[in-house]
Amino acid sequence: MICCIFAVQNNNKMFNLVFGLGGQELLVIGLIILVFFGGKKIPELMKGLGSGIREFNNAKNNIEAEVKENMKEIDAKKQ
């Protein structure tokens, strides 16, 4: 149990270091989003956000694979 709490605290500290946002700030941001978009639009927004992140990760993985493949070809030509 203590290990889980320690991990959550470490993740929270990392989040705070990267974004500088605490729990209260995130709550206020969430309420503002709820007011502006309403409860019915939030699932659609999250679905769009998820598909955007998925496309980004796929593109990143494709670029990494191309770079590794090209590095192998360059190494093979050197030998």
Q: pLDDT for 14-67, tens place per residue?
A: 555 556 777 788 888 888 888 888 888 888 888 998 999 999 999 999 999 999
Question: Domain range for residue 74?
Answer: 2-78
The pLDDT, as a whole number, for residue 10 is 52
The pLDDT, as a whole number, for residue 55 is 96
User: Burial level of 15, CB count in 10 A (0-12/13-18/19+)?
Assistant: middle
**Does the pLDDT of residue 5 top 60, yes or no?**
no
The pLDDT, as a whole number, for residue 11 is 54
| Total tally of structural domains belonging to the chain | 1
The pLDDT, as a whole number, for residue 1 is 34
Question: Is 0.85 topped by the overall pTM?
Answer: no
CB 18 within 8 A of CB 11: no
